[in-house]
Structure 1
């Protein structure tokens, strides 16, 4: 194929959406959230690394094929002076995270988009870093046997044990840490002598998460029921579905 033909081919792919996936973020919470993005796996940061999403609003973002990273929502944020949030804060003092990760606990949505048109996307909802609000992921117009919605629809804050709870100044639970984050114990973090699926089974803490959110990662080796795949899809991420 000559250069002109290749350019036309790439343009056609771009127009058809094959070089990127559209992610639509919808906020069904009764309060404003501030979604954030963080690239991983050596991929580039997205054009938006943080933005405001008022109750009932939606916003879209183009994500290139081959991208890997995570999305989460920051909650109870102050826009007076330096920007800061009670959960998921990036500690940049700005709405943009600019390559900084979010403070735990936070409900994560993790993605690895196929490197080429026709490759599988991998995605999951993870509570390995804890929970701050319910979330769902719904593929749109995709294909494949594993191309299903996944979510953590329950409010885990309502049943969070005191030793895992993060509270606001009024004593309301606004986040729930994972046992690994709360205690740093290898048996909860699946590290050291517990660094494999055979030696790191679910714990009472992770099973409580799993009971309410059976599709979400509850601890490090929760792959079988928590990783989903799809091909050629766009995605809707809904907070408080």
Structure 2
């Protein structure tokens, strides 16, 4: 009996440490139009139960995320279904032809909310990233006394002409990063620029940083863009905060 009790206790402890804990992430659409949020879980983990959905203006939905968990959220815009039933979006499309992204990431430009939950002794890390460009303003709010990163600026309105992504009507619907637009090592932090010592801010990354000071503007923008929280709080992501 004592052996069974010990094994049962160890099993409960294992479950508590490796998966019994979960976090609720609530996504709110504060934009004046419908968006289609999506999520992608990093490799070695199962995708969440809902990898893409429609969200009307002013509506919210919540997802239960197991911890530890590493992944990202974004929102697609200008989505429609063609005559063959294929679902596509003007920005951040994930290429599945469906509302669900099923593990695919969003095509740049896409504003990202990134999480690494329970990564270090229960500590969460989270950030807003414009490394893949910008399509929508967003914020991340921990339900705790932790930093609330915010990218409320409509970067599309100020986007340099060479980075602009335009819709069918000629309006700017996204702003590419210099890495996506030019695919050069100094902008992508690759090759000879693959370390924090050699990859420095550029005029293009500084444009994004000036618009959204709390968001990643290039790969090594950690000091002012990566935030942490302890205690396993729930989080809210708001698009168009």
Same fold, TM exceeding 0.5?
A: yes
8 Å contact kept, 1:34–1:53: yes
Supply the distance in 2 between the matched residues of 1:34 and 1:234 (Cα, whole angstroms): 21
Does residue 1:112 correspond to 2:146, yes or no?
Answer: no
Supply the distance in 1 between the matched residues of 2:119 and 2:216 (Cα, whole angstroms): 24
Supply the distance in 1 between the matched residues of 2:122 and 2:80 (Cα, whole angstroms): 41
Does residue 1:233 correspond to 2:233, yes or no?
Answer: yes
Report the Cα offset of residue 159 of structure 1.
0.5
8 Å contact kept, 2:119–2:125: no
Supply the distance in 1 between the matched residues of 2:149 and 2:114 (Cα, whole angstroms): 11
Does residue 1:99 correspond to 2:103, yes or no?
Answer: yes
What is the 5 A alignment of 1:39-188?
Answer: 39-80=41-82, 81-115=85-119, 119-140=122-143, 142=144, 147-188=146-187
| Cα distance per residue 1:192-212 (max 9 Å; x no partner) | 111112211111111011011
8 Å contact kept, 1:70–1:108: yes
Supply the distance in 2 between the matched residues of 1:7 and 1:181 (Cα, whole angstroms): 47
Cα 1:215–1:4 change in 2 (3 A) is same
Q: How many residues align?
A: 233
Report the Cα offset of residue 3 of structure 1.
4.8
8 Å contact kept, 1:44–1:67: no
Supply the distance in 2 between the matched residues of 1:126 and 1:226 (Cα, whole angstroms): 8
CA RMSD of aligned residues (A): 2.0
Supply the distance in 1 between the matched residues of 2:165 and 2:203 (Cα, whole angstroms): 19
Cα 1:115–1:161 change in 2 (3 A) is closer
Supply the distance in 2 between the matched residues of 1:164 and 1:230 (Cα, whole angstroms): 34
Report the Cα offset of residue 2 of structure 1.
3.4
Runs of 4+ in 1 over 2 A off after TM superposition: 1-11
Unaligned residue ranges in structure 1 (runs of 5+): none
8 Å contact kept, 2:159–2:175: yes
8 Å contact kept, 1:74–1:89: yes
| Cα distance per residue 1:123-168 (max 9 Å; x no partner) | 100000000000000000x36xxx2111211000001111101000
Unaligned residue ranges in structure 2 (runs of 5+): none
When normalised by structure 2's length, the TM-score is: 0.91
Report the Cα offset of residue 41 of structure 1.
4.1
